[in-house]
């Protein structure tokens, strides 16, 4: 990570500064605790940058811990993708990777301790009955008829649960707290349930699995976490977090702090909804470039630096808000404008024949970046036949049109001035060929007789250009807040992906996966990491040259 990326400040860092100044803590230890039930998205990137960034800036530690207490939805594929995403974003975790499942034996022991203290009981209410007994926000809950079982009976039944003698859904272990609490999370929450599922780390050793709220706080304490940072929806859960740690025998008692989660326009951040998009083949996998996943953004051409910059710009607050898509795009545009080499590609080609050009291809030297000579140059073949964008030619146009017009001149980028002399059309009236002449005295200079040529257009040799599939991505949904729709699938944008068959300059045949280029006048593109090959080049558009989001709806 670049040292020039300025260290931010926020309310969490101010708390840490105060804790270090008062001597409450002498070092900082954070953690990033994803559940491996899907790929990480841009919201997780915010949490990664926060937790790992704090550890980095305070010379502390940050654990990568997998919250793997739900084996039915988890998979080793997700574990590997999460590790890759954290590394790609520029961070390293402290020590070995942690798993909540590492602590299953200790968690079981703490559950036994709560039973022995009369603070947990085995309940036989069904999930539906449990909801009925729980009460509402304005009405207290009712005690389960099984709440006052003896310690001995609870221990015996919990042992049966552990030994696989109880069917799924027939019994659960609940904390005995307060069914009249104004906080629903404290109304005797379930802390263990029966699940006959093979776990990706522990295999078939266990058939009872602890719940997140019971596991998370204990895992934090066992790892010596000083500041447990999570999103605002866990604010009420902090009461249960503290209750568990207050009532078991454990040395460390971390403190939980909450910040607002990231909401981004024109997409969804629910892993359940993202999973639905994947499983119903509404997108092409978790790394589809239209997805807000880190792997999708990476495949689309976003850099790790641009995502870190985005997370820095939006900041860390307690206020829920929705970020405009243009904010994210601004970060990658700023990055690539500075760092992406230029190249030429024609997305919707029409042929130009330069009738007075004779002989073999002429190799022209073209700079890779207009403002960075240190990025060098490349050789571009200029031939008798070239392609230009269909939209860059008109038979007639007003003076504001700065491209090629019949009977007028324009400059080809890095090459000569050409003049459109005549055209050919097909039976439907579509232009098939533009016949031009060129002024061979205009390479790198203006016409000698003082003619003013204002327009510059890009081009690619028709003879040596390389065919390429060009994928143009738009927003995935047609409304800014698809999560609020009755059926978010119904507001998927049918035009979120357009595929064009273009032609690119031959230097791009060597482009490595995910490497970014600015296609002159067309936007920023990268080589697709999955589908592109030397036999068939595929480019993804990362972002346009300008912010087009402000124009949506105009």
**pLDDT value of position 554:** 37
CA–CA–CA angle 529, 534, 535 (5° rounding): 110
> Is 36 annotated as a binding-site member?
yes
**pLDDT value of position 549:** 54
453, 452, 372, 379: which is closest to 414 by C-alpha? 379
> Is 30 annotated as a binding-site member?
no
Can you say how many angstroms the Cα of residue 43 is from the centroid of all Cα atoms in its chain?
Answer: 7
> Is 262 annotated as a binding-site member?
yes
> Is 424 annotated as a binding-site member?
no
Q: What are the structure tokens assigned to 353, written together?
A: 């024949």
| Calpha distance 116→113 (Å, rounded) | 5
CATH 2.40.240.10 domain span(s) along the chain? 265-339+467-504+511-547, 348-461
> Is 200 annotated as a binding-site member?
no
> Is 47 annotated as a binding-site member?
yes
- In the chain, the N- to C-terminal Cα span, in Å, equals 39
> Is 277 annotated as a binding-site member?
no
CATH 3.90.800.10 domain span(s) along the chain? 104-210
| Calpha distance 219→32 (Å, rounded) | 12
**pLDDT value of position 550:** 54
For residue 313, the surrounding DSSP H or E stretch is helix 304-314
| Calpha distance 287→22 (Å, rounded) | 45
Give residues with Cβ within 8 angstroms of 416, minimum separation 6. Answer: 382, 438, 439, 440, 442, 443
> Is 67 annotated as a binding-site member?
yes
> Is 228 annotated as a binding-site member?
no
> Is 462 annotated as a binding-site member?
no
Whether the CB-CB separation of 385 and 353 falls below 8 Å is answered with yes
CATH number belonging to domain 104-210: 3.90.800.10
Profile the chain (554 residues) by mean pLDDT over runs of 10 residues: 59 95 96 96 96 96 97 95 98 97 98 98 97 95 98 98 97 98 97 97 97 97 97 93 97 93 94 96 97 98 97 91 94 97 97 94 96 95 97 93 94 96 96 97 90 93 97 96 95 97 94 90 96 94 82 44
> Is 271 annotated as a binding-site member?
yes
Q: What are the E-state strand segments in 195-265?
A: 208-210, 227-231, 255-259, 263-264
> Is 515 annotated as a binding-site member?
no
- In sign, the C-alpha dihedral spanning 484, 486, 487, 492 is negative
Does domain 265-339+467-504+511-547 fall into CATH 2.30.110.10? no
| Calpha distance 520→252 (Å, rounded) | 58
Query: How many other CB atoms are there within 10 angstroms of residue 517's CB atom?
Result: 27
**pLDDT value of position 415:** 96
> Is 337 annotated as a binding-site member?
no
Q: What are the E-state strand segments in 43-86?
A: 61-66
**pLDDT value of position 386:** 98
> Is 37 annotated as a binding-site member?
yes
Q: How many residues in the chain?
A: 554
Whether the CB-CB separation of 314 and 323 falls below 8 Å is answered with yes
Which residues share a beta bridge with 193? 172, 209
Q: What are the structure tokens assigned to 345, written together?
A: 């590609």
**pLDDT value of position 552:** 45
| Calpha distance 371→424 (Å, rounded) | 39
Show the DSSP H helices in 163-293 as ranges.
Answer: 212-222, 237-246, 271-279
Residues with a known catalytic role: 35, 261, 271
pTM: 0.92
| Calpha distance 241→231 (Å, rounded) | 14
**pLDDT value of position 510:** 84
Q: Which CATH architecture has domain 348-461?
A: Beta Barrel (2.40)
Question: How far, CA to CA in Å, does 261 sit from each of 43, 134, 320, 399, 522?
Answer: 7, 28, 7, 50, 34
């Amino acid at each position: 990570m670049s040292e020039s990326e300025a260290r931010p400040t926020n309310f969490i860092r101010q708390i840490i500064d105060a804790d270090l100044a008062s001597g409450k803590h002498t070092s900082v230890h954070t953690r990033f605790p994803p559940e491996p039930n899907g790929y990480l998205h841009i919201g997780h990137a915010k949490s990664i940058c926060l937790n790992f960034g704090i550890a980095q800036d305070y010379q502390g530690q940050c654990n990568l811990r997998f919250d793997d207490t739900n084996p039915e939805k988890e998979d080793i594929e997700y574990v590997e993708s999460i590790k890759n995403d954290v590394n790609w974003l520029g961070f390293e975790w402290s020590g070995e990777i942690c798993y909540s499942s590492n602590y299953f034996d200790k968690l079981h022991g703490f559950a036994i301790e709560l039973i022995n203290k009369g603070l947990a009981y085995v309940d036989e209410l069904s999930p539906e009955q449990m909801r009925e007994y729980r009460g509402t926000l304005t009405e207290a809950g009712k005690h389960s008829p099984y709440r006052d079982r003896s310690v001995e009976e609870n221990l015996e039944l919990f042992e049966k649960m552990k030994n696989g003698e109880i069917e799924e859904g027939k019994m659960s272990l609940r904390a005995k707290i307060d069914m009249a609490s104004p906080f629903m999370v404290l109304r005797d929450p379930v802390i263990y349930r029966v699940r006959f599922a093979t776990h990706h780390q522990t295999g078939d050793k266990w058939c009872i699995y602890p719940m997140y709220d019971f596991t998370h706080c204990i895992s934090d304490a066992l790892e010596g976490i000083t500041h447990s940072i999570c999103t605002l929806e866990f604010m009420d859960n902090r009461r249960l977090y503290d209750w568990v740690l207050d009532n078991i025998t454990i040395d460390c008692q971390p403190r939980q702090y909450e910040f607002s989660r990231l909401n981004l326009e024109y997409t969804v951040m629910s892993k359940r909804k993202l999973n639905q998009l994947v499983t119903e083949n509404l997108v092409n996998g978790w790394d589809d470039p239209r997805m807000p996943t880190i792997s999708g953004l990476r495949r689309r051409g976003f850099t790790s630096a641009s995502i870190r910059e985005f997370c820095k710009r939006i900041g860390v607050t307690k206020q829920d808000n929705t970020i405009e898509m243009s904010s994210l795009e601004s970060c990658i545009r700023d990055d690539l404008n500075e760092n992406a080499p230029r190249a030429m590609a024609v997305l919707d080609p029409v042929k130009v024949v330069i009738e007075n050009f004779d002989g073999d291809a002429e190799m022209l030297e073209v700079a890779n970046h207009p403002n960075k000579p240190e990025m060098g140059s490349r050789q571009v073949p200029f031939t008798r036949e070239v392609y230009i964008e269909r939209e860059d030619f008109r038979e007639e146009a007003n003076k504001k049109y700065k491209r090629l017009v019949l009977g007028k001149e324009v400059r080809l980028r890095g090459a000569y001035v050409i003049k459109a002399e005549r055209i050919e059309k097909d039976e439907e009236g579509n232009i098939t060929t533009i016949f031009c002449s060129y002024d061979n005295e205009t390479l790198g200079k203006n016409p000698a007789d003082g003619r003013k040529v204002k327009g510059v257009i890009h081009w690619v040799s028709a003879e040596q250009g390389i065919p390429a599939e060009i994928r143009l991505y738009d927003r995935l949904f047609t409304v800014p807040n698809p999560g609020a729709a009755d059926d978010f699938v119904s507001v998927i944008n049918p035009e979120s992906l357009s595929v064009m068959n273009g032609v690119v300059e031959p230097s791009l045949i060597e482009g490595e996966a995910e490497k970014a280029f600015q296609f002159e006048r067309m936007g920023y593109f990268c080589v697709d990491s999955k589908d592109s090959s030397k036999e068939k080049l595929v480019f993804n558009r990362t972002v346009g040259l300008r912010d087009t989001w402000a124009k949506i709806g105009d």
